Amino acid sequence: MTDRIAVGILGGTGYAGGELCRLLLNHPAVDRIHPSSRGTVQFERVHRNLAGSGLDFVTTDALLDGSVDVDVVFFATPTGEAMAHAGAFLDRGVRVIDLSADFRFADPGAFATAHGTPHTAPEQLARAVTNGITEHNRERIRGAALVANPGCYVITAALGLAPVLRSGIGGRGRTVHVTAVNGTTGAGSTPSRPTMHAEAHGTMLPYNLAGHRHADELVLRLDEAGAGPVDLDFSTSHGSFPRGIHVQASVAIADEHRGTVTRESLVELYTEHYGRGHTGEFFVVVNDNPGLLGPGAKEYDLYPTVRAVQGSNFCHIGLDVDERAGRVRVIAVTDNLVKGAAGSAIQNMNVMLGHDETSGLRGYGL
């Protein structure tokens, strides 16, 4: 175990970079934090919520050439940056956690298909743990040199869907419908008119309905989780909130299970799969509130909300059954900047370095 950790953050000016800094400032084993910037802007002018933290930007070149010594480096950068530079860090013995999509496919051809551009560092893929969902791949992540952090949509949907699909309750070969809504921070920090507050507030912004680049990743992660091949119908939007992921999925019940699946049996299945808090997966919480008002009543507290997980590394999951349609309904919510990015990356760092997995991440929702 590395007792005192020096951390570098490439892409320190973005939203995910800022969240890495915020969370790492509360990590008991992190000694130094070096966020990078290609410009000359002051740290506290970019991340005003971290005023008084004492952090400042280092140059990107100082991290890349080793002038600033680090034990771990996070790539909170656009796709393509980690491919270009991860090898240099690995050769110096620096652990790498990539929050972009660069190393999420073991097959470079699969990356090219999903992202429409060739993979420029296929020689590094053998060194990568491509599935960085900690709850699904903890043993391979332990001691790894390079971990590909999952996408925010993917980790939220995969945590929500894996138990019901693995159980066989979800009919194999039938379409799984996933509708996912991301906060506007999911569009990145580069200004654009459609995601300005004046344009995005009070509306929805559908995008990539012709095929989202993360669909192939989600299918792969579900297959690796034991769900088998999935026929995925995946649609995405930005919602009128800054941060969060709301995934609503619909899974056809296999013929042999029709009439036997209830919300209570699903809650039991998911609780057995994830456990409860300290006795199971600490960051996955299954909503087991009992229904009190009867059929047709609007019992909102049976399902999780984005608001409840904002600022935290938790994934909340809610379940129900539409008996008429013969479908299981799954709701999964996370904070796209924490569990969907910086938080899960730190969770992976903890596992890689032998620290308590929850170190620096025990804060609950805002």
Q: Rounded to 5 degrees, what are φ and ψ at 3?
A: -75, -40
Around Cβ 355, how many Cβ atoms within 10 Å? 21
Coil vs helix vs strand at 86: helix
The 10 Å Cβ neighbour count of residue 25 is 14
User: Which tokens sit at 11?
Assistant: 């892409």
Tokens of 219: 């299918």
Short-list 133, 177, 122, 40, CA closest to 351: 133
Long-range contacts for 42-47 (Cβ within 8 Å, ≥24 apart)? 43/12, 46/13, 46/18, 47/18, 47/21, 47/22
CB contact burial 53-82 (16+ within 10 A = b; e otherwise): eebebbbbeebbeeebebbbbbbbbebbbb
User: 23, 133, 152, 164: which is the annotated catalytic residue?
Assistant: 152
Pairing state between β 327-334 and 175-182: unpaired
Coil, strand or helix at 30: strand
The angle formed by the CA atoms of residues 147, 152 and 154, to the nearest 5 degrees, is 80
Place of tokens 């296929």: 122
φ and ψ at 158, to 5 degrees? -65, -40
152 counts as catalytic: yes
Spatial distance between the Cα atoms of 230 and 251, rounded to a whole number of angstroms = 10
Q: Catalytic site residues?
A: 152
